């Protein structure tokens, strides 16, 4: 049976767009009502939901609302793609082993919110992209697949970042396929 995918994103949503162009996506969820990913969803005719933590009494209530959406849509796999919130214990307990994340560095190198900038500032001669299962840590879950991205002699941080994103756009579809997601016909 085809896997039902939801994508979670907080901002730009370029990874969401790549995924949604190649795979059926049930919905995108954003924790930011102004996120550009919601515009992309509209253009791609993908259902979207957005609500913010501050609109709820607690993170538990917030995650319960997300869980309700996941259950209503019978989601099998959550793809985090630039989702800037930590997945809390309730959501994790319900979906552990069914949540993946993309990180713009070669984990365990440079975990955290600024993987590209941190690698650049450390002066590495290569960084990478990682897709991993999500656990309760920050970018600590089991690695599914990763690729190296070199830093070239004439790179600026912008060209380095662009090359990392290019690899992200290949790796996410590859991994989804390897996990049994069916491409759009
Ligand atoms: C990507 O670099 C991803 O690896 C990181 O956040 C960025 C999201 O970019 N987790 P976008 O919103 O998909 O354009």
- Using the predicted structure, report yes or no on whether residue 76 has a pLDDT greater than 90: yes
Residue-averaged pLDDT of the chain: 97
- Calculate mean pLDDT across residues 41-65: 97
DSSP string across 93-151: HHHTTSEEEEESS-TTSS-STTHHHHHHHHT-SEEEEEEEE--SSSS-SPEEEEEEEEP
pLDDT at 127: 98
- Using the predicted structure, report yes or no on whether residue 39 has a pLDDT greater than 90: yes
pLDDT at 64: 96
Pocket test for ligand 1, best of 78, 82, 173 (most atoms within 8 A of CB): 82
- Using the predicted structure, report yes or no on whether residue 121 has a pLDDT greater than 70: yes
Residues marked active site are found at: 103
Omega of the bond leading into 108 within 30 degrees of 0 (cis): yes
Gyration radius of the chain's alpha carbons: 16
88 lines ligand 1 (CB under 6 A): no
30 lines ligand 1 (CB under 6 A): no
Closest atom, ligand 1, to C-alpha of 103: 4
Pocket test for ligand 1, best of 104, 109, 112, 130 (most atoms within 8 A of CB): 104
- Using the predicted structure, report yes or no on whether residue 1 has a pLDDT greater than 80: no
Q: What is the pLDDT of residues 143-184, one digit of tens each?
A: 999 999 999 999 999 999 999 999 999 999 999 999 999 999
Distance (angstroms) between ligand 1 centre and the Cα of 25 equals 17
- Calculate mean pLDDT across residues 114-123: 98
CATH 3.40.630.10, applies to 5-178 = no
Q: What angle do CA 72, 74, 112 make, to 5 degrees?
A: 100
Distance (angstroms) between ligand 1 centre and the Cα of 64 equals 25
Name the token pair of 101. Answer: 């994340």
11 lines ligand 1 (CB under 6 A): yes
Burial 79-107 (b: 16+ CB within 10 A, else e): bbbbbebebbebbbeebeeebbbbbbbbb
- Calculate mean pLDDT across residues 72-96: 95
- Measured between alpha carbons, how far is 121 from 74 in angstroms, rounded to an integer? 42
pLDDT at 185: 80
111 lines ligand 1 (CB under 6 A): no
The three-class DSSP label of residue 63 is helix
């Amino acid at each position: 049976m085809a896997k039902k995918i939801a994508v979670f994103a907080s901002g730009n949503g370029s990874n969401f767009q790549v995924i949604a162009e190649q795979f059926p996506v049930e919905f995108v969820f954003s924790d930011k009502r102004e996120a550009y990913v919601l515009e992309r969803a509209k253009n791609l005719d993908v259902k979207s939901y957005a609500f913010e933590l501050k609109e709820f009494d607690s993170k538990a209530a917030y995650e319960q609302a997300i869980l309700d959406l996941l259950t209503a849509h019978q989601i099998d796999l959550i793809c985090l793609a630039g989702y800037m919130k930590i997945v809390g214990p309730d959501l994790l307990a319900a979906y552990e082993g069914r949540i993946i994340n993309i990180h713009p560095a070669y984990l365990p190198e440079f975990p955290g919110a600024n993987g590209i900038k941190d690698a650049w500032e450390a002066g590495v001669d290569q960084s990478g992209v990682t897709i991993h299962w999500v656990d309760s840590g920050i970018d600590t879950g089991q690695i599914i697949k990763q690729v190296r991205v070199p830093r070239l002699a004439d790179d600026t941080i912008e060209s380095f970042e662009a090359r990392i994103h290019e690899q992200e756009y290949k790796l996410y579809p590859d991994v989804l396929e390897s996990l049994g997601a069916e491409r759009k016909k």
